[in-house]
Amino acid sequence: MSNEKLPGGPTQDEIMAIALFKLGLRSSDCMLEVGCGTGKISIATAQIASQVYAIDRKLEAIQYAKKEAKKSGVKNIKFINSEATEFLSKNHRKFDCAFIGGSHQLAEMLPLVAQCVRRSIVVNAVLLNTVQTAVTTMKQLEIFHEIIHVQVARSHEVAKSHMFKPIDPVYIIVGEGRAC
């Protein structure tokens, strides 16, 4: 990653590993990422899936993610600068799985995502309001599967020894798509 920073920052590696496991990516998959931010998830999934659609409503995020993808050498990501609800309401493509890293309009977005995703939907959240919205909406849609609370701490050297510094906890909400 370059020295530039985007609000929210990239997903931590340990959190990404669990989220990608829950997505259950396959080499033939077409994956959707909503709220691509720095592009870290899109780039990681593009190394497995055949095609990735990465959406973000912030132009600076799309520009940053495109630069990171180019540096990584992946070419199977289609970046889209749009509100997710706008893109999804006009979209006729089916996706195998979806990762949602942005919480903007989550309650309106999840029904649209559920209709265009065949298999797994993973939402990462740090705010309890986002967890509540994701779970409530997924339950209403009858697609809710589970919530995983992840707390990671990394070692740091202190006084010729080591201590652990916690990273902010993340909630991974897992659901299932309805598209056939």
- In CATH, what number is assigned to the domain containing residue 133? 3.40.50.150
- pLDDT, position 168: 87
**5 assigned to some structural domain:** no
User: Looking at the 3D structure of the chain, how many domains does it have?
Assistant: 1
Confidence of residue 8 (pLDDT cuts 50, 70, 90): low
Residue 1 in any domain: the answer is no
**Residue 53, both tokens:** 């659609």
Res. 180 pLDDT band, cuts 50 70 90: low
Domain membership flag for residue 2: no
Q: What is the pLDDT of residue 1?
A: 40
How do the residues of the chain divide into helix, strand and coil, expressed in percent and rounded to 5?
A: 35, 30, 35
Tell me which residue range forms the domain holding 139: 13-176
Among the listed residues 51, 145, 55, the one whose alpha carbon sits nearest the alpha carbon of residue 94? 51
**DSSP H helices in 40-127:** 40-46, 59-72, 84-90, 106-116
Residue 33 pLDDT > 60, yes or no?
Answer: yes
pLDDT, tens only, 83-109: 999 999 998 899 999 999 988 899 999
